[in-house]
Every structure is written in structure tokens, then in C-alpha cells.
Amino acid sequence: MAHVEVDQDTCISDQVCAATAPDVFEMGADGKAYVVDGMEEVEGADLEMAREAAAACPVDAISIDE
Ligand code: SF4
């Protein structure tokens, strides 16, 4: 299991993570990305998607602690 977080202060709202891993990330009403409720701890395919999104984030706002 790995813990996923988004730093909303760093997020520039380009929606790349929500498009890459929609099961793990969603856009909030404030335009920032958030981890979907219940997906703070991920493994398997969800973790792979979260890693992909983190790598694609242009400002490194996504952290994954494994
Ligand atoms: S990819 Fe990064 S900058 Fe873009 S919405 Fe997600 S967290 Fe924010």
C-alpha cells in the first residue's frame, strides 16, 4: 500500500492527474486536484495509475509514499 497526497498550494489546475488516473484524482470546486475519498491508500493497478499521474504532473504536486 502507498499513501497518495496532492499539494493544493502547488497544483496549477491543469487536470492532467484527473485525466490520467480518474479513479484516484478528481478536481475540486476550487479547481484544484484532490485524492478521491477512500483512495488515499492505494495498491496494484490504482497505485500504477497514481504513479503515472504523479510523473505527468508538471509541478510535482503529487506525492506517493511507499
Ligand atoms: S497534474 Fe498536478 S498540477 Fe495538474 S491538476 Fe493534477 S496535481 Fe494539479
Can you give the residue range of the structural domain that contains 40? 2-65
* Integer Cα distance of 2 and 19 in angstroms: 20
Residue 34: predicted pLDDT = 99
Q: How many domains does the structure of the chain reveal?
A: 1
Q: Does the Cβ of 50 fall within 6 Å of ligand 1?
A: no
Tens-digit pLDDT profile for residues 3-60: 999 999 999 999 999 999 999 999 999 999 999 999 999 999 999 999 999 999 999 9
* Integer Cα distance of 59 and 6 in angstroms: 11
- At 51, the amino acid letter reads R
Residue 61: predicted pLDDT = 99
**Nearest ligand 1 atom, CA 6:** 7
Q: Does the Cβ of 35 fall within 6 Å of ligand 1?
A: no
Is residue 48 within 8 A of residue 6, CB to CB? The reply is no
Residue 59: predicted pLDDT = 98
Instruction: Show the cell assigned to 60.
Output: 510535482
Ligand 1: distance of its center to the CA of 66 in Å? 20
CATH number at residue 44: 3.30.70.20
Residue 42: predicted pLDDT = 98
17 closest CA partner among 59, 65, 66 = 59
Ligand 1: distance of its center to the CA of 14 in Å? 6
